[in-house]
Structure 1
Amino acid sequence: MTRFAGRVCVVNGAASEIGRAVAARFAAEGGVVVGVDVIGHDVGEQSVQADLTDEAQVRALYDDVVATHGHLDVVYNNVGLMDRGDLSLLDTDLDTWRRVQDANLTSVFLSCKHAVPHLRGTEPSGGAIVNAASFLADIGAATAQMGYAAAKAGVVQLTRDLGVHLARSGVRVNAVLFGPIDTAAQRAVFERNPGALDKRLVHWPMGRFGTLDEAAATVAFLASDDAGFITASAIPLDGGITEAFTVPD
């Protein structure tokens, strides 16, 4: 498939496993990939190191992408942070809360704010933004990461509002509600707590992690013209977790 032939695709959070997988998928389908991360990396035809919580750096990033490549077509906001200090709200300090909100929500706000004018300026006006959210934004959770869940819920609402606001401009905005994807970072969360994965698997209808290929394919679909009538939506990629009351024995 060449769904992204000639299209300039910015992948934020490109050094992560999911970011790398999405960048590889865009490139395999003909896209010109600009990989962005706060750490040094080698992802994309153009690799950029930038802090997406710094507005000046975000503005300069998109200005440079368009100056270099002539246009902007796709933005995937994969940035995020799961902080070990992000626990129950009663046990999380204010510095941790602010750090988690900045990394997971403010970064998406700034990326969208400075990408949209370039997307609207593309001829014909249009393009797609895909934001990484979490199934935790859609349910109540009794344990940990309450700041993260609140931030991802903010990403979902921002996606809805922006998608509706831009609907007639040709710019589409959607989110992916990621469930557990098989990455080293995800497995490390469970490995820190022996037995935690077995307890979780009981409640996962498909009884497994999602794969990186499945994650990349979902993002690519939403960014492509195949999803041309989808906007302001949050698509679950969680193996049915949020829809399950009980699962088969």
Structure 2
Amino acid sequence: MHPHDGDSIEYPEDIWDRTMDINVKGLWFGSKHAVLGFWRHGKKVSSLINTASVVSLVGAATAQLAYTASKGTVLAMTRELGIVYAREGFRFNSLCPAPLNTPLLQGWFGDDKAKWSRREVHFPSGRFGEANEQAHAVIFLASDESSFVNATDFVADGGMTKAYVTPEGPATEAPKNLAGP
């Protein structure tokens, strides 16, 4: 997402074009060359995972129109490719991650506790996801264990898109009589 991404009223066209070139045209070129590579190497079952975002499913209250629109396109293109190439054994899936605790996010939010809590409150677990947790979702989608998963929007967001209201306060504790040794 470009730092100058914005709304539909005051929006630089060059930022829109750049975002679409990277997130949409880049996906198109990558997918095109992946299919050619799958055919060239004669692999009957192949998997391609495109990165979308939870905002492609639920939108965002902060103005980031180009990013949100481009990630919605990732979902549509990936589903189409998954259907078109299913008989060849080529699988296409989208990963829809929530915001992750990464150096990029840390740079955007810095030490501003209000920015962190404004977003963190939406996670039922009360925390951001970690990059390695997304990597495990990618490993699953690329593996034979997901051989019947195709043209899907795989959401790895800690329940964020399913939570209308999240719990308040610290995690609940198990009743004393259920505690293990």
Give your verdict on TM over 0.5: yes
Corresponding residue pairs, total = 168
1:247 to 166, 170, 177: 166
> Sequence identity of aligned pairs in percent?
36
Aligned equivalent of 2:81: 162
Query: 1:134 aligns to what SS in structure 2?
Result: coil
1:236 to 135, 150, 155: 155
Aligned equivalent of 1:61: none
2:48 to 129, 133, 138: 129
Q: Comparing both structures, which one devotes a greater share of its residues to strand?
A: 1
Aligned equivalent of 2:110: 191
Aligned equivalent of 1:56: none
Unaligned runs of 5+ in 1: 1-81
Aligned structure 1 segments of 4 or more residues deviating by more than 6 angstroms: none
- Find the aligned partners of 1:197 and 1:98 in 2 and give their Cα distance: 29
Root-mean-square deviation over aligned CA pairs: 1.4
Q: Deviations over 1:85-140 (max 9, x none)?
A: 10112222111100011111110110101220221333342311000110000013
Unaligned runs of 5+ in 2: 169-181
- Find the aligned partners of 2:108 and 2:135 in 1 and give their Cα distance: 22
Matched, 1:176 2:79: no
1:248–1:194 distance in 2 versus 1, CA, 3 Å: closer
Q: Which amino acid aligns with 2:107?
A: A
Greater relative contact order structure (CA < 8 Å, 6+ sep)? 2
**Is contact 1:120-1:171 (8 Å) kept?**
no
Q: Deviations over 1:3-53 (max 9, x none)?
A: xxxxxxxxxxxxxxxxxxxxxxxxxxxxxxxxxxxxxxxxxxxxxxxxxxx
- How do residues 217-236 of structure 1 correspond to structure 2 at under 5 angstroms? 217-236=136-155
- Find the aligned partners of 1:91 and 1:138 in 2 and give their Cα distance: 24
2:119 to 196, 200, 209: 200
Of structures 1 and 2, the larger Rg is shown by: 2
Aligned equivalent of 1:119: 38
Aligned equivalent of 2:26: 107
Query: 1:90 aligns to what SS in structure 2?
Result: coil
- Find the aligned partners of 1:158 and 1:145 in 2 and give their Cα distance: 20
- Find the aligned partners of 1:248 and 1:170 in 2 and give their Cα distance: 42
